[in-house]
Structure 1
Amino acid sequence: MQANSASGMAVHDDCKLKFLELKAKRNHRFIVFKIDEKIQQVTVEKLGSPTASYQDFTDSLPANECRYAVFDFDFTTNENCQKSKIFFFAWAPDTSRVRSKMLYASSKDRFKRELDGIQVELQATDPGEMSLDIVKARAL
């Protein structure tokens, strides 16, 4: 576990371990990460099974709280090739607390660097900004 001097945020080792499992073994379809403000640490909140859908993923994000998340997105290219890309989501709904939004925003780049292998980043303040159509468009 390492603390970040800029934001004082630590990243729990489990975050990196689960991300490696998603990336290398594809044990998880998605991971939702939460900042535990009491201990100033990013932790794993939820894991999605390999069979989970994108809808399962978006349903697991709280409506009024910020989260980070990664999603392993499978898609078919215009040339009919099967591919996958790992998306990083910064979820910060308009209804979440200002302090929480600032904390997630200030810690995001540092946390993202811990997860080696992210290919696309999306920031969303409401579900429409991370619709499946948008994700597909960003993947291609």
Structure 2
Amino acid sequence: MLQANAASGMSVSDECKQKFMELKRKKTYRYIVFKIDEKLQQITLEKTGAPGASYEDFTTELPENDCRYGVFDFEFTTEDNCQKSKIFFISWSPDTSRVKAKMMYASSKDRFRRELDGVHYELQATDASEMDIEVIKDRVS
């Protein structure tokens, strides 16, 4: 069932929620990239990354001049040698993207983020340095 976001009129496709659950529970994907389909007024699935994909693979999937949402399952080892993973929600809104796109992504973000139950950290980035792997590592340490 689709529910429209009152603020932006954007609904979230069931596929988005389903793929996120597969990433969270089954580790089927390393990352997912979502985009807003302006014609459908809906947040849709754009790409998924295989479990072995890297953070660099994920960041290269984000367009240079357009907004996207992404989730990345970051795996790391703690100081006491425990394997852990934390899910990051990344709102990518480069300065070079269209004003309308930035507004749509900004107004839809909070509700979409709430649909993805199990996100540990949230990042907003307008350029690559704001979501560098070191930023990710700092968040989990």
Taking structure 1 as the reference length, the TM-score comes to 0.98
Cα deviation 1:34-72 (Å, max 9, x = unaligned): 000111100000000001011100010000000000000
Unaligned runs of 5+ in 1: none
The CA RMSD measured in Å over matched residues stands at: 0.7
74-83 vs 57-66, which deviates more?
A: 74-83
Cα deviation 1:1-34 (Å, max 9, x = unaligned): 1112221110000000000000000000000000
| Aligned equivalents of 2:28, 2:97: Cα separation in 1 | 31
3-12 vs 81-90, which deviates more?
A: 3-12
| Residue of structure 1 equivalent to 2:73 | 72
Report the 3-state secondary structure (helix = DSSP H, G, I; strand = E; otherwise coil) of the residue aligned with 1:3.
coil
Which amino acid letter does the alignment assign opposite residue 118 of structure 1? V
Report the 3-state secondary structure (helix = DSSP H, G, I; strand = E; otherwise coil) of the residue aligned with 1:117.
coil
Which amino acid letter does the alignment assign opposite residue 21 of structure 1? E
Alignment of 1:81-92 (within 5 A): 81-92=82-93
| Residue of structure 2 equivalent to 1:62 | 63
| Residue of structure 1 equivalent to 2:20 | 19
Cα deviation 1:82-131 (Å, max 9, x = unaligned): 11000000000000001100110010000001000000000001111111
| Aligned equivalents of 1:44, 1:125: Cα separation in 2 | 21
| Residue of structure 2 equivalent to 1:42 | 43
Q: Does 1:100 align with 2:132?
A: no
Give the drift of 1:78.
2.2
Taking structure 2 as the reference length, the TM-score comes to 0.97
| Aligned equivalents of 1:81, 1:63: Cα separation in 2 | 36
The structure 1 segments of at least 4 consecutive aligned residues displaced by more than 3 Å after TM superposition are none
| Aligned equivalents of 2:79, 2:39: Cα separation in 1 | 47
120-129 vs 74-83, which deviates more?
A: 74-83
| Aligned equivalents of 2:34, 2:127: Cα separation in 1 | 18
Report the 3-state secondary structure (helix = DSSP H, G, I; strand = E; otherwise coil) of the residue aligned with 2:39.
coil
Unaligned runs of 5+ in 2: none
| Aligned equivalents of 1:78, 1:129: Cα separation in 2 | 25
Over the matched positions of the two proteins, sequence identity in percent amounts to 66
Give the drift of 1:79.
2.3
Give the drift of 1:81.
1.5
